[in-house]
């Protein structure tokens, strides 16, 4: 296959763009103005400012039991629920989330954890509420 200058230019631009996306994704999340929204049954029940120094475990009442949320170093995760409360446990398998726009959803219990901050918070407020 013969490569032309235009082909090489397009391939180079695409590769540089992909590399830039990987670098941005690998950078640590800014911890300054992140907020955790905890939503149950479509209603925000808690709004918690996240910081690197915050270390907390929150218990949320859900139908049939309780869900435990762990906050540490500006990141959030859902601790495993019993099979009775969450049969597949997808929400706890998500692991830690820390960037604005990331979310953990426990569909059987209608529980949503969303991280917002900066422009993402404006989008969340404008679209979802």
Write down the pLDDT at residue 121. Answer: 44
Which domains are seen in the chain, by residue range?
35-128 (2.60.320.10)
How far apart are the C-alpha atoms of 66 and 83, rounded to whole Å?
13
How far apart are the C-alpha atoms of 77 and 91, rounded to whole Å?
8
Write down the pLDDT at residue 129. Answer: 45
How high is the mean pLDDT of the chain? 83
Write down the pLDDT at residue 32. Answer: 55
pLDDT tens for residues 89-128?
899 999 999 988 899 999 999 999 999 985 544 444 555 4
Residue 13 pLDDT exceeds 80: yes
């Amino acid at each position: 296959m013969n490569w032309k200058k235009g082909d090489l230019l397009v391939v180079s631009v695409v590769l540089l763009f992909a590399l830039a996306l990987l670098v941005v994704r690998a950078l640590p999340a800014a911890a300054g103005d992140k907020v955790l929204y905890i939503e149950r049954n479509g209603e925000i029940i808690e709004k918690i400012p996240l910081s690197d120094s915050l270390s907390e475990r929150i218990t949320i009442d859900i139908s049939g039991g309780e869900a435990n949320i762990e906050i540490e170093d500006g990141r959030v995760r859902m601790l495993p629920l019993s099979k009775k409360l969450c049969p597949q446990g997808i929400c706890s398998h998500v692991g830690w989330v820390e960037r604005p726009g990331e979310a953990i959803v426990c569909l059987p219990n209608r529980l949503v954890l969303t991280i917002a901050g900066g422009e993402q918070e404006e989008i969340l407020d404008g679209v979802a509420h």
